[in-house]
Structure 1
Amino acid sequence: MSILQYDFMVRALIAAVLVGLTAPAVGIYLVQRRMSLVGDGIGHIALTGVALGFLTGNSPVFSAVVVAALGAVAVELIRSRGGASGDVALSLLFYGGIAGGVLLMSLAPSGGNVNLLGYLFGSLLTTAPSDLIVMGVLAAAVLVFTVGLRPWLFAICHDEEFARVSGFPVRLLNILLAVSAAVTVTVAMRVVGVLLVSALMVIPVATAQQVSRGFVATMAGAMGLSVTVALTGAVGSFYLDVPSGASIVVLAVLVFLVVTAVAAAVRQLRRRSAAARPDRGPIVAAASAGSGTASLDGAGTAAESAESAAPAASTGAGAPSR
């Protein structure tokens, strides 16, 4: 029996694809900036927005977008001005966000405990047509920003001072990136929940780094893997009757472990091959080092950064040709 005959499953699969594309598209920049847990912080404050929507009788998704975006911008401004360290700002989001959400939800007329659980851990199979429309619009906006402005965003994440000297609008791009992360959390909360959304933003990127070289290849690999995991987890949750959000995240973790183990084994084989053939040792060793964990700070991405920033360095704040 095909699951596509059920309208709710069709909507669920579309939602899974949207989240699978947007989460790593933003997450790759967070990983590059060593802010992998920022999705958790924004997710917690988005919970306050959800509760505020139930309290006021408005759309929880809309209120979550607004509150999460404001929180993300506040954290970015605090971080950029040096008024508080990044970990303190994230702590404020973690504790204040979830506490505010629980408090406001308790004041809502219906209590909303069951509905709140759906936003905490995801409820993919209950995605409504109106939810899908909102998710589609938000996902399109995030992808246009993260993919269309990829050279600029990579430049500020790789070397913010260099980007500023090159004439990039660093503060504006940082704020827009923070807002994109907030929107991504809101898009994904119906699929994996606000407590698990950071996993889908980080794990596919970390997995793609094991086998990819260069920023573009890592982004493409992470997005493809995220979509595959999201679809597989959604289908598996339907047949196994298990929570969809947890299924997707657990599957992503398993894929990461398998890819990491295989990559380590390949590197070990190449080292042994280099030791057995001394005449090819330097060549094999270089290939082995390059095919390991594809750090976004590596030579390939550094070259891409220089190439992307070159037009801007000569024309001020003009957009790079890439």
Structure 2
Amino acid sequence: MEVGQSFSSPEPDQPLIEVSDLVCHFPVRAGLLRRTVGSIQAVDKISFSVQRGEGLGVVGESGCGKSTMVNALMGLVRPTSGSFRYAGREVFDMSRAETRRWRRDVQMVFQNPFASLDPRMTVRQIVEEPLQVSGLRLAAAERRAQVLRMLEKVGLDARQADRYPHQLSGGQRQRVGIARSLILGPKVLFLDEPVSALDVSVQAQVLNLLDDLRRELGLTFVFIGHDLSVVRYVSERIAVMYLGRIVEIGPREAVFERPRHPYTLALLSAVPQIERARRDARKRITLVGDPPNPANPPSGCRFRTRCWKASDICARLDPELSPRSENSGHMAACHYPESQ
């Protein structure tokens, strides 16, 4: 595939993104000779798919492997094994020329807008850089015009184009990061907790901006977050991760209103409710202990050491992610799923 060629669109019923059995293990070394004595199982056999124009939200507590998963899919971390297909093509087997073209279709918005922007470059240079390195043959005047149009689209004006990141607020810096990710006209955005470093009022502004851009440009989202209300706002489907694995996945309303996995139920019970005293308010569930060490995960179900339903079968058999309700798209990995 030449750099200028476009990836063919998948069939209407074919997912745009297909991830199968993704594994990311990191070696643990010890001793004078730095021998490998174990491995950190950051991501372990994750599978999911995303349709064109869909938003998938991935939630879970810190350290569950959300960001590692996204970094592996974007090529920032080398996966141990697994498959990642985009529009029917295997991304992990692409040549350098194909990967350069693929990166025009798939972009990423990082968590910390200050750390992800070069402090020595102006806003104009930061947003223009992808146009210069992508292989597109554009005149300098055309590149500058595209930068100004993109800045306007994300809510910044031309006066801010010659400023440096330290001269901007946190919300403005994140808008610059969004403009940089959109300048090449991608079809997919991976967003790694893009509003977690912002004030609550600024979070709402950036989320509204992302939602408007997604509808206007027809973007596909994979949104990583730990704030359930934020993820719910921008996603049609939700995947819940625990200790490197997806334990529940399904349509947004099904997961939030009828959670099947005990861990999902515990996460949702921790969401503050103004009317906590209402009779139908969800009972607060307090998990005992800390998440297990990913270098030595429990046998069987990884959640069993903190689960109030655990029994002998949970220690012996690792539950598979399978349909647990009439909705075949709502799946959970649990021997004792919650009732409807």
Relative to total residues, which structure has the larger helix share, 1 or 2? 1
**Common topology (TM > 0.5):** no
Higher relative contact order (CA 8 A, sep 6+): 1
